[in-house]
Amino acid sequence: DTGVSQDPRHKITKRGQNVTFRCDPISEHNRLYWYRQTLGQGPEFLTYFQNEAQLEKSRLLSDRFSAERPKGSFSTLEIQRTEQGDSAMYLCASSQWDRGEAFFGQGTRLTVV
Amino acid sequence: KQEVTQIPAALSVPEGENLVLNCSFTDSAIYNLQWFRQDPGKGLTSLLLIQSSQREQTSGRLNASLDKSSGRSTLYIAASQPGDSATYLCAVRYLDQAGTALIFGKGTTLSVSS
């Protein structure tokens, strides 16, 4: 068990481009979360999966954002038509059961130029 | 609005000191509370999880307490070391929070000097 894995660790993109991030949760964890963290702030919830079902989406998740978790394993977070305001650390977390201890990955740092 | 507040925002101590980090939450109806550590540019490392029925949890030099009635949790770090320098985040799961999202404070940035 290597923990929660995120790829890439860093991404620099031009405004208007699309980007996709990947998260591999801890293998026996069926709950998967995406959070966004900006400098000096705590992480903010974006969306949540139980197995392959996306059960909750924050109002922060605009129409340009989409997340998937095919087959209830890894998850992807796509941002279309990136804006400078999307620059942030995108964190993935998983837990073994509902409201259980959350384990986070190392995050993907997105910079939109 | 359900919020989590951490005070102070930053703290500097000499090596060897015992210290307390504070976390307050606006609603006592919580499911659990989790403390995390975050190194610069890195992800979050889980330190301690306290269920609403518990008063405290201990792991090594760390002790976290929970007082739901006053809406407070503290993280006690004994005999601080330079390697403890990091940002410490408190996060709460409220009972009536839609979904199971953690609500985070902004963190306390700790610097331990040798």
Q: Which residues from chain B sit within 8 angstroms of residue A93, using beta carbons? A: 44
Q: What pLDDT shows up at residue A76?
A: 98
pLDDT at A28 over 90: no
Q: What pLDDT shows up at residue A79?
A: 98
What does the pLDDT look like over B51-63, one tens digit per residue?
999 999 999 999 9
Sign of CA dihedral B78, B82, B83, B86: positive
What does the pLDDT look like over A37-91, one tens digit per residue?
999 999 999 999 999 999 889 988 899 999 999 988 999 999 999 999 999 999 9
Share of chain A above pLDDT 90, in %: 84
Give the residue from chain B lying closest to A3, CA to CA. B45
Six-digit token string for B60: 């090594």
**How much of chain A is in helix, strand and coil states, percent to nearest 5?**
5, 50, 45
The Cα diameter of chain A in Å comes to 38
Sign of CA dihedral B47, A74, A91, A109: positive
Share the mean pLDDT of chain B: 94
Contact B44 A55 (CB under 8 A): no
- Tokens 């090594």 sit at which residue? B60
What does the pLDDT look like over B74-101, one tens digit per residue?
999 999 999 999 999 999 998 766 556 8
Contact A102 B89 (CB under 8 A): no
Residue B54 touches chain A, beta carbons under 8 Å: no
Give the separation between CA B55 and CA B58, rounded to whole angstroms. 11
Contact B100 A48 (CB under 8 A): yes
> Which residue out of B49, B100, B104 would a mutagenesis test of the A interface target, given it has the greatest number of A Cβ atoms within 10 Å?
B100
Regarding beta strands A108-112 and A10-13, do their DSSP bridges make them parallel or antiparallel, or are they unpaired? Answer: parallel
Say if CB B47 and CB B62 are below 8 A apart. yes
Give the separation between CA A78 and CA A19, rounded to whole angstroms. 6
Share the mean pLDDT of chain A: 94
Contact A98 B100 (CB under 8 A): yes
Give the residue from chain A lying closest to B90, CA to CA. A42
Q: What pLDDT shows up at residue B101?
A: 84
CA distance A17 to chain B (A): 24
What does the pLDDT look like over B7-61, one tens digit per residue?
999 999 999 999 999 999 998 889 999 999 999 999 999 999 999 999 999 999 9
